Amino acid sequence: MKPAQLFPVLLVMLLATGCGKPTDSSETLVVHIGSGNWAAANMKAYVEPFERETGIRVTPVADDLKVAQLKLMDDADSVEIDVIDMPAIEAGRSAALGLLSPIDYSLFKEKELAGLRDETRRPWGVGALYYSIVLSSRGAGPQTWSDLWDTQRFPGARTLFTGEYGDGPWEEALLADGVPADRLYPLDIERAFRSLDRIRPSVKRWWRAGSEGQQLFRDDQVTLGEAYDGRIADLAARRPEIQFTYNQGKLLLDYWVIPRKARHRAAAQKFVELATRADRQAQFAQLIAYGPTNLGAYDLIPAERAARLPSHPDNLAKQFRLDAEWYLRKNEHGESNHETLIRRWQEWILK
């Protein structure tokens, strides 16, 4: 869904689910849980246990919330959501704009805090999950991005993540063009677009949401491309011909964040604390193949399942990490690399 469409849809969803109306509970909480099998995992691992433990009713929201929408709500003093799962770049941008509440780490038990990776403990957010964008195919497919760009050896319709939000397939394009993974940053933006020029005729769809990328493979609309690992793993479990590899995967990190003007900040802090406990993250990782940010969760996950998660040491060794700080860095004109990429994508896609 395009960001401009999101704000009114979010409000409609909240009204339809009864947000703001009297309930049996003295408190309510509005939480972004995503869609599809990701939403189902969030409900089972976090929402339902939170409701049982606290008696606070949760109103789930499926649509992603972009920074622009959060700022609109903030400016209007009408923030209609309490907890958001945000990608690292979006969370960093929101924090820089002063839109987020500090996380109350005093609520966390010492053992749980010790299990959280350093990069997941920010003043404005706590790591929700690790996930990856991975090479995916129907049948034996590419093992590197250079393979995916080779349309002679690997023919077929392709799909890649859109660049309209700024965090597009730039690293993939540079790897396909021969840039080593340890020398990706700072990204050579113009080289990335020249590489995308080569693959563009074979891209049938630039997907905007993880569920869309999964559906393209499920409906046999594409033969190969990229998808979120949890989504494609779920499909592969039911469709053995669907394959993917963590080789040259792009490792990403989401944070749980709380808007500074959220209506139920105290309850939101409780939810974030519960959602980063080792036992809760272990259950989540067994429902969808996304990696825990609390290392203690691995003690509770069967070894066979753990080996299929993006943050497992064996899989980490095959991947590169998206550098969110580079995306947020500004040039001499005050434009961030993230903003530059959005502008360049808009120019490029209209050619």
Give me the pLDDT at residue 26, please: 61
Whether the Cβ atoms of residue 245 and residue 143 lie closer than 8 Å to each other: yes
More confident residue, 64 or 324: 324
Instruction: Give the percent of the chain with pLDDT over 90.
Output: 83
Whether the Cβ atoms of residue 242 and residue 70 lie closer than 8 Å to each other: no
DSSP letter for 44, please.
I
Residue 291 predicted with pLDDT over 70: yes
Whether the Cβ atoms of residue 93 and residue 102 lie closer than 8 Å to each other: no
Residue 15 predicted with pLDDT over 90: no
Give me the pLDDT at residue 35, please: 84
pTM for the full predicted model: 0.86
* pLDDT band per the 50, 70, 90 thresholds, residue 42: very high
Q: Which pLDDT tens digit goes with each residue over 182-225?
A: 999 999 999 999 999 999 999 999 999 888 999 999 999 999 99
Residue 327 predicted with pLDDT over 70: yes
Residue 13 predicted with pLDDT over 70: no
Q: Tokens for 98, please give them.
A: 């002063």
Averaged pLDDT for residues 246-255: 97
The span from the CA of 336 to the CA of 321, in Å, is 19
Averaged pLDDT for residues 323-342: 94
Averaged pLDDT for residues 337-348: 96
Give me the pLDDT at residue 52, please: 97
- Please provide residue 84's backbone torsions phi and psi, each rounded to the nearest 5 degrees: -130, 135
Give me the pLDDT at residue 301, please: 97
Q: Tokens for 295, please give them.
A: 């290392």
Q: Which of 85-89, 142-146, 157-161, 207-211 has the lowest mean pLDDT?
A: 207-211
- Report the candidate in 88, 47, 92, 94 with the shortest Cα–Cα distance to residue 73: 94
